[in-house]
Amino acid sequence: MKNKKKSFYFDDYTESAFIEVSKPNIIKVSLNRVTFLSFIFFSLIIIFGIKIIYLSLSSEKNVFNNITKEEFLEKRRDIVDRNGSILATNVILYNVGVRPKLLKEKEKKNLLIKLSLLFPELDLDKIKNKLNKKDFFWIDKRLTPEEKDQFWLMGNKALVFDRKQSRIYPQQNLFSHILGQTDDMNSGISGVEKFFDENLEREDKINLPLKLTLDSNLQHLIRSELLKAEKDFHNIGSGAILMDVEEGKILSLVSLPDYDLNKRVSIDDSNFTNKITLDVYEFGSVFKTFTVAAGLEYKLIKSNTIFKNLKNTLTCDKYTISEHDKLPKNLSVEQILVRSSNIGAVRIAQKIGIEKYKSFLNKLGLFDTINFDLEEIGTPIPFNWGKCKLATSSYGHGITTTPLQLARAYAILGNGGYKIKPTILETNKNFLKEKEQIISNKTSSTINSMLRKVVSLDEGTAKFANIDGFDVGGKTGTAQKYNSNAKRNTFVSLFPASKPKYVLLVILDEPKPAPNFVYDMPPSQKFPNGYKHKGEMRNTSGWNTVVVAGKIIEKIGPILAINNLEASAKF
């Protein structure tokens, strides 16, 4: 059998032929992959780029904790003075805390070292103790963004940051006793912040500031003079109030010592209370003005009525009443007020009688708790009337009220006898339509004339307030504090006396004699040895409080005059 051999073969493809056939598919697949990856890559770049730009242009976000949107933060209206200067406003501040459980012992030591270097004012011993005992505590509060960043740059995982709206007071100490404070929840806890708390939180008025009658410029000048007085007369405290006598608008209210509202410290010392609205005092001879005014109003005396044979002392029960200086035996009503005669005041009060005198003082609102725009309000101490109480009350002893009520009473006497309501809230209310006259114009005019002579005459007790060009009238008061030889001195002034526009009350608490102080007299008056005097050892009101009030009026007078010109130009 013929052996047949079968054979077969493959078509052989050259290398070049293979390449020519396969290359287009490979290139197509590679290009698709590259295009896809490039798309993903550039998309991510664009996304992150947009995010970075957004974060850089948007307002700061809290990246430390849950993000708190601005609209959910508590807001509070600004407080401004009558010129629009900001007294209280909101800012974003930060609290920084720590979670000790997230730290090892070595990390706790490192944290303390960094804190000691960056924040030496912190109480490190207290922080160290809390690190070992607490699960969480605040290291510091009310930090500015810059201060917060110092903590954040420490890069410590245990630090916690809380972003919140907080209240700040750009004027610091200037209005501390009036504005009061807010708590950590931004709610009012004292002063204007508390009294007008609901008003300040009204959403419909959030962009409209609460406007006060106070003037920052006047407040600064008056406070500065009171601080100077502490150096000259070494008193332990002081206060002043400046008020418009027609509308009751308070332009300045100062009480020293004061404190920085931004520091949020608890003030327990009674020296830090509001001396003008809260404290209740005996005021001494400033009450003689009311005694004389009551006698005039009831037509029991005239300014030229002579009281004869005035003794230098008299007794009532176990008390002895005496004059502060040797005075003539015969004095007119005007001289009794100008020379501040205690015995003369007693004789006038005895002529008036208890019921009429009490009724007159009640008209002036000296005994009730005053309705005012703060909760920090004092209540005069009640007492039982009698012959001896009538006698001592006539010259301001054994009878109390607040400085705010005393200033209001003088304003009523000065403005023609019209009742007013003191206020620190600026409104568009027309006070002229609500005037209620409680004392006659004649009594008011006569009293203003007498008060001017207390300042202008040589025998008057307030010569140092006779500032040229301001027509100042007023009355001094020196009262001895309870169970003490220390004094509390007062001077209440009205100016211009011919038609009073303002009342200024100044108090110095426990002033000391000032033998090194040089007393200056205006050219219109002088001491026996010239215009200057030194070595004085008396510390009654005429030798300190009057001096301070005169300097205040000299400083604030031009500002008030300009404001009056601006007001008159509107009519």
Residues 121 and 252 in one domain: no
Helices (H), 234-325: 288-297
In a domain, 193, yes or no: yes
Distant-in-sequence, close-in-space partners of 284: CB < 8 Å, separation ≥ 6: 395, 396, 397, 477, 478, 479, 490, 541
Distant-in-sequence, close-in-space partners of 543: CB < 8 Å, separation ≥ 6: 513, 514, 519, 536
Question: What's the CATH number where 139 sits?
Answer: 3.90.1310.10
Residues 154 and 236 in one domain: no
Domain end among 189, 211, 233: 211
In a domain, 368, yes or no: yes
Residues 161 and 295 in one domain: no
Residues 409 and 333 in one domain: yes
DSSP assignment of 453-501 equals HHHHSTTSS-GGG--TTS--EEEEEEEEPTTSS-EEEEEEEEESTTS--
Residues 85 and 203 in one domain: yes
Domain end among 175, 192, 211: 211
Distant-in-sequence, close-in-space partners of 68: CB < 8 Å, separation ≥ 6: 62, 163, 164
User: Distance between CA atoms of 410 and 444, rounded to whole angstroms?
Assistant: 10
In a domain, 43, yes or no: no
Instruction: Please state the domain count of the chain.
Output: 2
DSSP E strands in 267-326: the ranges are 281-282, 306-307, 313-316, 319-322
For the chain, the C-alpha Rg in angstroms (whole number) is 38
Residues 239 and 151 in one domain: no
In a domain, 47, yes or no: no
Torsional class of 84: left (φ above 0), alpha (ψ -120 to 50), beta (otherwise): left
In a domain, 31, yes or no: no
In a domain, 35, yes or no: no
Residues 259 and 374 in one domain: yes
Residues 204 and 167 in one domain: yes
Average pLDDT of the chain to the nearest whole number:
86
Distant-in-sequence, close-in-space partners of 168: CB < 8 Å, separation ≥ 6: 88, 89, 90, 91, 93, 262
Residues 201 and 283 in one domain: no
The range of the structural domain enclosing residue 142 comes to 70-211
* Residue 60, pLDDT score: 44
User: Distance between CA atoms of 294 and 357, rounded to whole angstroms?
Assistant: 7
**Whole-prediction pTM value?**
0.81
* Residue 570, pLDDT score: 39
Q: According to the 3-state scheme, what is the secondary structure of 175-204?
A: CHHHHCCECCCCCECCHHHHHCHHHHCCHH
pLDDT digits 0-9 by tens, 183-203: 878 889 999 999 999 999 998
Residues 230 and 204 in one domain: no
Residues 550 and 481 in one domain: yes
Domain end among 170, 189, 211: 211
Residues 317 and 179 in one domain: no
User: Is residue 511 a contact partner of residue 480, using CB atoms and an 8 Å limit?
Assistant: no
Q: How crowded is the C-beta side of 381, counted as CA atoms within 13 Å?
A: 9
* Residue 259, pLDDT score: 92
Strand partners, 254: 240
Identify the sign of the CA torsion 162, 167, 171, 176. negative
In a domain, 473, yes or no: yes
SS3 315: strand
In a domain, 1, yes or no: no
Question: What's the CATH number where 264 sits?
Answer: 3.40.710.10
> pLDDT in tens for each of the 571 residues of the chain?
444 444 333 344 444 443 344 445 555 556 676 676 777 777 778 877 776 776 556 544 444 444 444 444 568 999 999 999 999 999 888 889 999 888 888 888 888 888 888 888 888 888 888 888 888 988 888 888 888 888 888 888 889 998 888 889 999 999 999 999 888 788 899 999 999 999 999 988 999 999 999 999 999 999 999 999 999 999 999 999 999 999 999 999 999 999 999 887 666 677 789 999 999 999 999 999 999 999 999 999 999 999 999 998 999 888 899 998 899 999 999 999 999 999 999 999 999 999 999 999 999 999 999 999 999 999 999 999 999 999 999 999 999 999 999 999 999 999 999 999 999 999 876 655 678 999 999 999 999 999 999 999 989 999 999 998 899 999 999 998 887 889 999 999 999 999 999 999 999 999 999 999 999 876 666 666 666 888 889 999 999 999 999 999 999 999 998 665 444 343 3
